[in-house]
Amino acid sequence: MLTERSNHLAKILELNNEVILLNTQLNQIKKQAEIVTNDTIILDEVTEDHNKRKANGIEFDYKPLNLRQSNINVSYASEDHGMIKNEKHDKRAN
């Protein structure tokens, strides 16, 4: 009976060590999954931000240029067939 008890205690110790090992491995996998999830979220944010900027082409802001050009009055003399422009700047633009 003592031998049987000793065998059972040895088996219990072996199983407890296996449980500890498996729990440690599980915790490592959980940490790795959390890191991958966080990295994926960051990558999604970067990609989304990049796609927003990509929609603007070469990332040049044309609004000030368009505003300035809309404030210039251009007229062509009929005799020069459009070869010479007479420009008048809107004083409000400056």
Q: Tens of pLDDT along 9-61?
A: 999 999 999 999 999 999 999 999 999 998 888 888 888 877 777 655 566 66
Task: Give the pLDDT of residue 45.
Answer: 85
Contacts of 89 (CB under 8 A, 6+ apart): 71, 72, 73
Model confidence, pTM: 0.47
Task: Give the pLDDT of residue 73.
Answer: 55
Residue 85, beta-bridge partner list: 76
pLDDT tens digits, one per residue of 68-78: 666 555 555 55
Contacts of 88 (CB under 8 A, 6+ apart): 72, 73, 75
Is the distance from CB of 67 to CB of 61 less than 8 angstroms? no
